[in-house]
Amino acid sequence: MNDFNPMPPELVETPEEFAGQFADRDQTLQAYREMLRIRRFEESAARAYTRGKISGFLHLYIGQEAIAVATAQALEEGDRVVSAYRTHGFALALGSDPNACMSELYGRKDGLVGGIGGSMHFFDRDKGLWGGYAIVGNHIPVATGHAFASKYKGDGRVTVCFMGDGAVGIGPVHEGMTLAGLWKLPIVFVVENNRYSMGTPLERTLPVEDITQRAAGYGMKRDRFRVTSVHETHRRLKAAVDHARKENQPTLIEMITYRFRGHSMSDPAKYRQKDEVNAWRQQDPLERTGRALQQVHNMSEEDLEALDDEIVAEMRAAAEFADASPEPDPEARFANIIV
Ligand SMILES: Cc1ncc(C[n+]2csc(CCOP(=O)(O)OP(=O)(O)O)c2C)c(N)n1
Ligand SMILES: [Mg+2]
């Protein structure tokens, strides 16, 4: 077994370096707003779940928001995002309507996919979200297929495929990555390494902690970094997206992140120590960005609260909209099924 350390690696930065990462005020504010929208959406969904408004699984993205926001910034129209089941953040960052997202969680007719998919099956083609897949690791060949289609048609589009650290040992991941490397497809594979698959820590799933070492065997470029801000995540992801678009060069990226909630709403996350969660919270990209707005750009606490109030109201309205939306017609279960 490798020597997995559950605590976050120490973040060594001077105040000047901290300020430097958030130098552009408008970008920083935009990143903060988009991350906060995801967080407040997720919190609103969690409340609805505990009130029995949402049934089935609900996997929250709290802690990982910077990745979705950076992804939306790094992509162009027509590019594709394919992800696992922790998908709400991608939808919101890509511009999906929060009312439709919440209605999907509530299983209502106005949902993103008519209320028949639920939390794990978000899909919004017009915004570039090509699913939402519940079966761990099995969407990797689907994403590879999208990238193959782009290369075959020469449409200049890039696919970015997300998976968790728990997915990388699954057979189809290997198949999809092998073909992407062999055929030099315009794709970026991103492993969102949040240190756990359900309640199982990395040391019990990974023989080698650095997942990107596998890239050599697939003939891909690789990158591995800790997610501390939208800006830096965007910069690194954009470089890989550019390689894919311009040179048909696939990349495997590992983004080290953390989820603050349990695996799903039914997981109280008792397998972690409070100290561990608190240490990661100290480095929460959302908190860091809020701190930068105050310390570097002199935004007042009242300004930040006003922004928060606006976003909370947006998400409350989404929950009210979902609650008022009708149930789908039972026949909707058979729509979009190819037999
Ligand atoms: C093929 C398959 N095996 C098992 C499961 C049950 N399962 C759902 S999520 C999960 C853990 C995945 O963890 P990870 O890939 O790290 O993603 P995270 O939840 O951390 O985002 C498992 C084993 C499944 N959905 N599909
Ligand atoms: Mg994980």
- For residue 288, what pLDDT is reported? 98
Question: What is the DSSP code (8-state) at residue 204?
Answer: G
- For residue 3, what pLDDT is reported? 66
What digits encode the pLDDT tens for the residues 274-331? Answer: 999 999 999 999 999 999 999 999 999 999 999 999 999 999 999 999 999 999 999 9
For domain 15-323, give the fold. Answer: Rossmann fold (3.40.50)
Distances (CA, A) of 216 to 6, 94, 140: 27, 31, 18
The three-class DSSP label of residue 80 is strand
B/e letters for 85-96, b = 16+ CB within 10 Å, e = fewer, are bbbbbbbbbbeb
pLDDT in tens, the chain (339 residues): 566 788 998 889 999 999 999 999 999 999 999 999 999 999 999 999 999 999 999 999 999 999 999 999 999 999 999 999 999 999 999 999 999 999 999 999 999 999 999 999 999 999 999 999 999 999 999 999 999 999 999 999 999 999 999 999 999 999 999 999 999 999 999 999 999 999 999 999 999 999 999 999 999 999 999 999 999 999 999 999 999 999 999 999 999 999 999 999 999 999 999 999 999 999 999 999 999 999 999 999 999 999 999 999 999 999 999 999 999 999 998 887 887
Task: Determine the atom of ligand 1 nearest the C-alpha atom of 170.
Answer: 1
State phi, psi for 222 to the nearest 5 degrees: -145, 155
From first CA to last CA, the distance across the chain in angstroms is 45
This prediction has a pTM of: 0.97
| Structural domain spans, the chain | 15-323
B/e letters for 277-293, b = 16+ CB within 10 Å, e = fewer, are beebeebbbbebbbebb
Task: Report which bound ligand comes closest to the CA of 136.
Answer: 1
Residue 278 CA, ligand 1 centroid: distance in Å? 24
Q: How is residue 144 written in tokens?
A: 């590879």
Tokens 């998400």 belong to residue:
315
Task: Determine the atom of ligand 1 nearest the C-alpha atom of 134.
Answer: 25
Burial class of residue 314 (count of CB atoms within 10 Å of its CB; 0-12, 13-18, 19+): middle
What digits encode the pLDDT tens for the residues 198-238? Answer: 999 999 999 999 999 999 999 999 999 999 999 999 999 99
Is 94 in contact with 129 (CB distance < 8 Å)? Answer: yes
- C-alpha count within 13 angstroms, C-beta hemisphere, residue 217: 10
Residue 23 CA, ligand 2 centroid: distance in Å? 31
Pocket of ligand 1 (CB under 6 A): 86, 134-136, 164-167, 194, 196-198, 263
Is 261 in contact with 62 (CB distance < 8 Å)? Answer: yes
Q: Tell me which residue has its CA closest to atom 20 in ligand 1.
A: 197
Task: Determine the atom of ligand 1 nearest the C-alpha atom of 197.
Answer: 13
- For residue 189, what pLDDT is reported? 99
DSSP for 12-35?
---HHHHHHHT--HHHHHHHHHHH
